[in-house]
Amino acid sequence: MHTHHDGTAAGSAATDPTSAPSAREWWEARYAERDGIWSGRVNAVLASVTWGLPVGRALDLGCGEGGDVVWLAEQGWDVTGIDLSVTALERGSRAAVAAGVEDRVAFVAADLARWDTAARFDLVTASFLQSWPVAIPRADILHRAAEFVAAGGHLLVTAHAAPPHDDLPPELLEYRFPSPVDDLAALQLDDRWDVLVAEVRPRTATTPEGDPHEVLDSVVLARLTRG
């Protein structure tokens, strides 16, 4: 679902609130615009943070077309990816097959505001889980994400901390980009957690036209020390 990697979700919501699309409908339409709206590459924060972690079970919340899911599986993780969009997940499934990691990957179409599982994961990640112009209950989703982490496991939240490019659609002018402090407040972590990283990191991204530009990522990484 998310705005991911070097892309951003653009478009206009219906002005009549009675006809405004749901988040699921909006993102399905967005993914239907063309075959592949993200790069398919792992995002840089996830790759750097997970380097050296013992592999185990991973959960990607708002996995989009599965770039991070496939990369984690290639590193040996067993990965579950959750997203609103069936279209995006079908692309993720094809990418997993193409990479030969389909046996370590499961994709689930679900609304993260309601999805639940008894499973616990060694890594839970939410990368650029931001939605505009249709809103999602992001803070609530992040708070619930902490419940899915196994003792000793890690929770990684990466977000656009500033506009990902200069050519913003009008609906983004009112969007409040989260800071690490905002995301820590949403997570509501208790004393069982060690916060390892809470910072804004600069990154060089590439526009759709191929031009490099600087962007800012909000990064929060925490470890659950006991269940």
Instruction: Give CA 74 to chain center in angstroms.
Output: 18
- Calpha distance 65→169 (Å, rounded): 23
Query: Mean pLDDT score of the chain, rounded to an integer?
Result: 84
Give the pLDDT of residue 213: 78
- DSSP, collapsed to helix, strand or coil, labels residue 118 as coil
Cα torsion 185, 188, 192, 196: sign: negative
Computed from CA positions of residues 151, 5, 38, 141, in that sequence, does the dihedral angle turn out positive or negative?
A: positive
Condensed to tens digits (0 to 9), the pLDDT of residues 148-193 reads 999 999 999 999 898 876 666 776 667 788 999 999 999 999 999 9
What span, in angstroms and rounded, lies between the C-alpha atoms of 98 and 112? 27
Residue 140 reports pLDDT greater than 80: yes
| Euclidean distance between CA atoms 132 and 9, whole angstroms | 7
Span 23-50, average pLDDT: 72
Inter-CA distances, 83 with 31, 104, 111, 190, 224, Å: 12, 17, 7, 27, 24
pLDDT at 32 over 80: no
Residue 29 has pLDDT above 90, yes or no: no
Does 99 score more than 90 pLDDT? Answer: yes
How far is Cα 110 from Cα 115, in angstroms, rounded to an integer? 6
Q: To which H or E segment does residue 164 belong? A: none
Q: Which of 52-61, 117-126, 146-155, 206-215 has the lowest mean pLDDT?
A: 206-215
Q: Is the pLDDT of residue 91 over 50?
A: yes
Q: What is the pLDDT of residue 193?
A: 98
Q: What percent of the chain has pLDDT over 90?
A: 58
Predicted confidence at residue 38, as pLDDT, reads 47
- Is the pLDDT score of 39 beyond 80? no
Encoding tokens for residue 201?
């990191």
Q: What is the mean pLDDT of residues 54-79?
A: 96
What pTM does this model have?
0.84
